[in-house]
Structure 1
Amino acid sequence: MNQQEQQQLQKAKTLLMQSQHQAAISLCNDIINIEPGHKMVNDTVREAMYLRSVAHRLMGKIQEAIISLNQLIERFPDYGRAFQELGYCYANSDKKKSAHGFYQATRFNPALLSAWQQLERIYIADNQEQALLLCQQQIDFLKALPKPILGATDLMHEGQLHKAEQVCRAFLKDNKHHPEGMMLLAEIGVQLKVYGDAEFLLESCVALYPDNDRAAAAYQSLLAKLGKFPRAVEVARHRLAQSPDSFTVKVGLAHALVGVGEIDDAITIYNALLEENQDRPAIWVALGHAFKAKGNLESAVNAYQQAIAFAKDFGDAYWSLANTKTYRFDESMLTEMQRYVSNEATKLDDVIHLCFALGKGFEDAGDAKTSFDYYEKGNGLKKRTLNFDISRTEAALAAQQKAFTPKSFDASKGCQAPDPIFIVGLPRAGSTLLEQILASHSLVDGTMELHDILGIASSLSHGQTAYPFNVNELDDDALKSLGERYLAQTQAYRRGAPFFIDKMPNNFIHIGLIKKILPRAKIIDARRAPMDCCFSGFKQLFGEGQEFSYGLSDIGRYYNAYCVLMSHWYDVLEGDILTVQHEDVLEDLEGQVRRMLTFCGLEFEPQCLDFYKTKRVIKTPSSEQVRQPIYKSGMAQWKPYERFLTSLIETVS
């Protein structure tokens, strides 16, 4: 926020402290009426709405405070302090709603000590022993934290990342290698997407404090987030050796094993945990994901259903069923799901998952209006929890065009290995189908959406010259080293074939980097009709990333920016990229298969036409679709929704 806004907020806080509540409310109302949109403005408005609610409560105007808080939560559904304030508002009138407010506050901001202390009183009064134990453990943990770290943790959870980083760095300057400080700074780094720094911090923390399992767990989680599953497995096995009976460590190992494709070993662990206690809904969902990746859809569906049996409002289980793309909800199930969406006790994350599942359920039922309402609600809630600005993405893609010209490339430099075949494009554009076709060839290994190019790009983002402009400053040895690093990191996902596929769609942004460090790499651009591609992305709740997909206008602008950047790559890398149109594959499978194989320098093999018979681990939403012969029912699925898609149609047309 700018200095004037900061001064206004500070004045409002001062007025509150002086009990000049009405004056504080008037000033907050002035701030709230600022033109919305920019994140910094949103941060200002959010805090002003919060301060206004506090002022109403302190004046005894509880109903006005509740109305103001509900408006705040509608706009910022993951704002912990708003729920804490609701807890105070209901404290003398509705104990259940008060407890719910404090509980929600701790879910969105676990550093809110006062909310935990309020819950402690409630749990003692209600004799909730298990909840009380967990609550008191968190209170003890927070009280033991150095005050600057507690304050920085609070700031981080409230989305004030740069301020949290400043506080944390100042603390570490005087308390070098403090484990909680290192872990917090790494977590802030992850949220800021400075993954290289975060990984170094956690790796160092684990080395300095080998017995600190919280540090090891955070390190393992980040490795998994970055797609470095082989190293995640190593860390998990080390943790298990130290804590062989730990439930969370066993779960972490199973998740990492799924990441490297050792599905059967992961399933064995999940089943063992469920034999100990079947009432573990999240483990049932994880087991379902493992079965789905393996191609055992019947067992996957059964596992998801078991999760629902133990947790009726567990949104992830419903979405997992919908995300098979083949499961159909019956009418009674849709009604039950709608009931949980409307229940204020349902957690935000569950509501989001349920909305996407209901969107798919009513789409299958032929009710486009109701379907779109739920897709729109789910997307809206998800978007309001993200710090995403499409203009920043557009600027990043434009920078790639400025950084790379035809003179940037010299095919004699870099790592000369021909092994990688990159399939790039937008999500839901048919890339999994192309991967499955190529992975059916005897000389090609299918892997997964590998994060390694993104990691290399991130590692280059801290140079004196900004990425991607600094790529052209790298000498031949540096380029060759980066190419070899990529091959070494991806080796664990290969099965011995001379070629392998990297199907990370977002690599289209980094084609310049790829062709600098791996000039002989093949690049295939997976395309799909714009409305089909964009609307399919809008319907998809992604596990992570793809923040652009939660708004129709954002999707359209992202699609346009992608097309412009790909046109640039075609111009500067003439003949080095093959575009494969999804609709062409559906119309002429053999012709497009032969075309791809020729581009990759591979002889035709008939099993590539029978791609659906190839047994391999697939972890994308399209896994079940590519285990069937070619079908065309996915074309023009946006048409029944046309009247709701005006902003998207106008953007991409």
Structure 2
Amino acid sequence: MSDPNQSRLNEAKKALMQSQFEQAISICNQILSDRSDSNSEKESLYLIAVALRMAQQPRDALHTLDKLLQRFPDYGRGFQEQGYCWKALGDERNMATAFYRATRFNPTLLPAWRELVQFYTKTGNQQALNVASQHIQHLSALPKPLIGAMDLLHEGQLHKAEQVCRSYLQANKHHPDAMMLLAEIGLQLKVYHDAEFLLESCVALYPKNEPALVAYQSLLNKLGKFPVAAKLARKRVADNPDNAQAKITLAFALVGVGELDEALALYQDLLSQNAQRHGLWVQYGHALKAQGQTDDAINAYEKAVHIAADYGDAYWSLANTKTYRFTESMVSQMQALVSDDSTSLDDKIHVCFALGKAYEDVKQFQQAFHFYQQGNSLKNKTLNFDISRTERALTEQAQACTAELFADKAENVGCQAPDPIFIVGLPRAGSTLLEQILASHSMVDGTMELHDILGIASGLSQQQKAYPHNLTDLTDEQCAKLGEQYIQQTQAYRQGAPFFIDKMPNNFVHIGLIKRILPKAKIIDARRDPMACCFSGFKQLFADGQEFSYALEDIGRYYRAYEKLMAHWQSVLPGQILTVQHENVINDLEGEVKRILDFCGLPFEQACVDFYQTKRVIKTPSSEQVRQPIYRSGMTQWEGFSEYLSPLKQALQI
């Protein structure tokens, strides 16, 4: 079935090519008035801007582009058009800024790169000229179909990009650039299993291809496969001891597996060779924070700010210690960055969240909410998240995983290892505290938010019958094999205790899978007051995922869908999931500790009550809180923002 909007857009493009600018603008305005979908809205605004510029009306074009880029702040082609408008007006500074932004969001835009080369040549910026020239050289060497697919990828047309890339690979089997590009598309589509297979194959076929090695390493780290990532990075460093990038990825992977002393030594060595690398200071700070050296971590983040005053991640890293307090001068500095049009989108998002925290700390709730809202709104515009799609996916889990699936012999199917203790729920629900309590027990290893169950689910999604509906078709042997795979993959994160914790919150979606392959695993649902939990998530800029958390209505609907699915799991798996209410832990710590240990079949140990004395690697935002005794201040933090939270209250039906 043809898309009527696309037909009209093609008509507008034809009019544009024939210099019929008013007709092109009229067609696009009609599309916009019909409440078009977001892609049609984006392309219509873009074509109007192009038509206005070509009709010698660059200022009017810029007004249209302001609307376009406010709505779609990561649209590279929109910034390229903005560059042409500023060029027409003779404003070279704004022109160069716009073309630079265009290449940041869409590195395939050769015209923007060529304009930058001219500008850098004229201004004598040799370093920038070298970078731009290298990009042009790289793009010029690529086959045209791959450049087209890359362009589609960066403009958000993922399925079209996939079609073009697959078509090219059919004719040019095992082309390394095509394999890497298809893996990147898979990553964007969250088909992680396919992306990993492609990059693993690419590295096997081309073991000396540095871009492939870097991409594979990056994906392994993203998926939390730190043991494999560390092994690969060690080989890269052994093959080339001067490869600083390989050393950086090795240090990152070592933090992932908890080898912090070696990781910190690597970071220190790298910084001794180049102390001006602001991003490296932030990574070093993260490693220090994970080890509990908060003061040293703060010093590292502050050095990053000193080196690069516009580096948003450094400000957010300071805020994300949860204990840092910004000075008035730093707040003014951050406000200036948010107001500055030349601040990159990513930096602006990070700074907005940091400013929200800064104002919340001094109880200026209106200002704090303004910046939290701005940061969330900007982040949300860069995502293609649909809460309805997520709600349907959670409903499908309940439909596929009926009581019959777990009846009778189900407990004897799968891997019988009792080792894993899964802590699930929503982010910011108190799961790190529960993990710290359990990890303080002599028989339990704390690990981190492991990606292995998500990886197994992703693998099952590639089969002919869709996951989770194919869980009923798994044979006893397949269930046992998948459970053993999980136990084997997670071995590298353990320190030798009989039991270990996997606290990936999103595993609540996959409890049906967990109980099919690991029937003796313990599952704890970390629950928190919905307003407190949801608003805490709204204030948090997550490193990756949790896309539901960037709009108040979305996060409220997600919480309700989570509650509904957990009620289903409780009904089909009676007695097999322990719900632990965060507020109860705060009000009766010892009583809840005993209850948790009883559920896990563990003897009582006082160390679990004195959890804050336990020294271990903690990588979540709550790391500093769980290194202190229980405190109550977080229970009602949302109340200062109550008047601004109507969309959340409505979604939660409060």
Measured against the shorter chain, the TM-score band is over 0.9
Using the TM superposition, give the Cα deviation of residue 278 of structure 1 relative to its aligned residue in structure 2, in angstroms: 1.2
Q: Which amino acid aligns with 2:455?
A: G
Residue 637 of structure 2 aligns to a residue in which SS? coil
Q: Which amino acid aligns with 1:65?
A: A
Q: Is the 8 A contact 1:213 1:239 kept in 2?
A: no
Answer yes or no: is 1:433 the counterpart of 2:429: no
**1:23-55: per-residue Cα shift (whole Å, max 9, x none)?**
00011111122326xxxx101110111111000
**1:442-479: per-residue Cα shift (whole Å, max 9, x none)?**
00000000000000000000222110000110000000
Q: Which amino acid aligns with 1:110?
A: P
Answer yes or no: is 1:96 the counterpart of 2:105: no
Q: For 2:177 and 2:222, how far apart are their aligned partners in 1?
A: 21
Q: For 1:43 and 1:453, how far apart are their aligned partners in 2?
A: 34
Q: For 1:634 and 1:122, how far apart are their aligned partners in 2?
A: 52
Q: For 2:49 and 2:236, how far apart are their aligned partners in 1?
A: 46
**Match of residue 372 from structure 2:** 375
Residue 482 of structure 1 aligns to a residue in which SS? helix
Structure 2: any 5+ residue segments left out of the alignment? none
Q: Which amino acid aligns with 2:340?
A: N
**Match of residue 386 from structure 2:** 389
Moved more, 501-510 or 89-98: 89-98
Structure 1: any 5+ residue segments left out of the alignment? none
Q: For 1:412 and 1:256, how far apart are their aligned partners in 2?
A: 36
Which of 304, 309, 312 is the matching residue for 1:307? 304
Q: For 2:340 and 2:242, how far apart are their aligned partners in 1?
A: 37
Answer yes or no: is 1:348 the counterpart of 2:356: no
**Match of residue 610 from structure 1:** 610
Q: Percent identity?
A: 62
Using the TM superposition, give the Cα deviation of residue 256 of structure 1 relative to its aligned residue in structure 2, in angstroms: 1.1
**1:410-425 aligned within 5 A:** 410-425=410-425
Q: Is the 8 A contact 1:34 1:45 kept in 2?
A: no
Which of 59, 63, 82 is the matching residue for 2:59? 63
Q: For 1:287 and 1:403, how far apart are their aligned partners in 2?
A: 44
Q: For 1:254 and 1:9, how far apart are their aligned partners in 2?
A: 49
Using the TM superposition, give the Cα deviation of residue 275 of structure 1 relative to its aligned residue in structure 2, in angstroms: 1.0
Using the TM superposition, give the Cα deviation of residue 271 of structure 1 relative to its aligned residue in structure 2, in angstroms: 1.1
Moved more, 416-425 or 237-246: 237-246
**Match of residue 315 from structure 2:** 318
**Match of residue 336 from structure 2:** 339
**Match of residue 636 from structure 1:** 636
Answer yes or no: is 1:52 the counterpart of 2:48: yes
**1:220-260: per-residue Cα shift (whole Å, max 9, x none)?**
11111111000001111122223221221211111111111
Residue 612 of structure 2 aligns to a residue in which SS? helix
Q: For 2:3 and 2:326, how far apart are their aligned partners in 1?
A: 53
Residue 90 of structure 1 aligns to a residue in which SS? helix
Answer yes or no: is 1:597 the counterpart of 2:593: no
Q: For 2:265 and 2:128, how far apart are their aligned partners in 1?
A: 30
**1:116-155 aligned within 5 A:** 116-155=113-152
**Match of residue 32 from structure 1:** 32
**1:47-102: per-residue Cα shift (whole Å, max 9, x none)?**
11111100000000111100000110000000000100111101142100000000
Aligned-residue RMSD, C-alpha = 0.8
Q: For 1:32 and 1:146, how far apart are their aligned partners in 2?
A: 36
Which of 217, 220, 224 is the matching residue for 1:227? 224
Q: Which amino acid aligns with 2:52?
A: H
Answer yes or no: is 1:83 the counterpart of 2:83: no
Q: Is the 8 A contact 1:445 1:494 kept in 2?
A: yes
Moved runs in structure 1, 4+ residues, more than 4 A? none
**Match of residue 257 from structure 1:** 254
Residue 460 of structure 1 aligns to a residue in which SS? helix
Using the TM superposition, give the Cα deviation of residue 267 of structure 1 relative to its aligned residue in structure 2, in angstroms: 1.1
Q: For 2:2 and 2:216, how far apart are their aligned partners in 1?
A: 36
Moved more, 275-284 or 159-168: 275-284
Residue 634 of structure 1 aligns to a residue in which SS? helix
**Match of residue 462 from structure 2:** 462
Q: For 2:247 and 2:498, how far apart are their aligned partners in 1?
A: 34
Q: Which amino acid aligns with 2:240?
A: S
Residue 526 of structure 1 aligns to a residue in which SS? strand
- The aligned length equals 649
Q: Which amino acid aligns with 1:529?
A: D
Moved more, 25-34 or 511-520: 25-34
**Match of residue 577 from structure 2:** 577
**Match of residue 16 from structure 2:** 16
Q: Which amino acid aligns with 1:4?
A: P
Q: Which amino acid aligns with 2:87?
A: A
Which of 287, 291, 294 is the matching residue for 1:290? 287
Q: For 2:327 and 2:47, how far apart are their aligned partners in 1?
A: 46
Q: For 2:250 and 2:467, how far apart are their aligned partners in 1?
A: 35
Q: Is the 8 A contact 1:430 1:582 kept in 2?
A: yes
Q: Is the 8 A contact 1:414 1:519 kept in 2?
A: yes
**Match of residue 549 from structure 1:** 549
Q: Which amino acid aligns with 1:287?
A: Y
TM-score by length of 1: 0.99
Q: Which amino acid aligns with 2:69?
A: I
Q: Is the 8 A contact 1:80 1:109 kept in 2?
A: yes
Using the TM superposition, give the Cα deviation of residue 333 of structure 1 relative to its aligned residue in structure 2, in angstroms: 1.3
Residue 579 of structure 1 aligns to a residue in which SS? strand
Q: For 2:348 and 2:547, how far apart are their aligned partners in 1?
A: 18
Residue 461 of structure 2 aligns to a residue in which SS? coil
Q: For 1:178 and 1:467, how far apart are their aligned partners in 2?
A: 31
**1:470-515: per-residue Cα shift (whole Å, max 9, x none)?**
0110000000000000000000000000000000000000000000
Q: For 1:291 and 1:235, how far apart are their aligned partners in 2?
A: 23
Residue 394 of structure 1 aligns to a residue in which SS? helix
Using the TM superposition, give the Cα deviation of residue 276 of structure 1 relative to its aligned residue in structure 2, in angstroms: 1.2
**1:145-544 aligned within 5 A:** 145-409=142-406, 410-544=410-544
Using the TM superposition, give the Cα deviation of residue 2 of structure 1 relative to its aligned residue in structure 2, in angstroms: 5.3
Q: Which amino acid aligns with 2:640?
A: P
Residue 579 of structure 2 aligns to a residue in which SS? strand
**Match of residue 647 from structure 1:** 647
**Match of residue 108 from structure 1:** 105
Q: Which amino acid aligns with 1:323?
A: N
**Match of residue 68 from structure 2:** 72
Using the TM superposition, give the Cα deviation of residue 205 of structure 1 relative to its aligned residue in structure 2, in angstroms: 0.4
Q: For 1:31 and 1:256, how far apart are their aligned partners in 2?
A: 49
Using the TM superposition, give the Cα deviation of residue 122 of structure 1 relative to its aligned residue in structure 2, in angstroms: 0.5
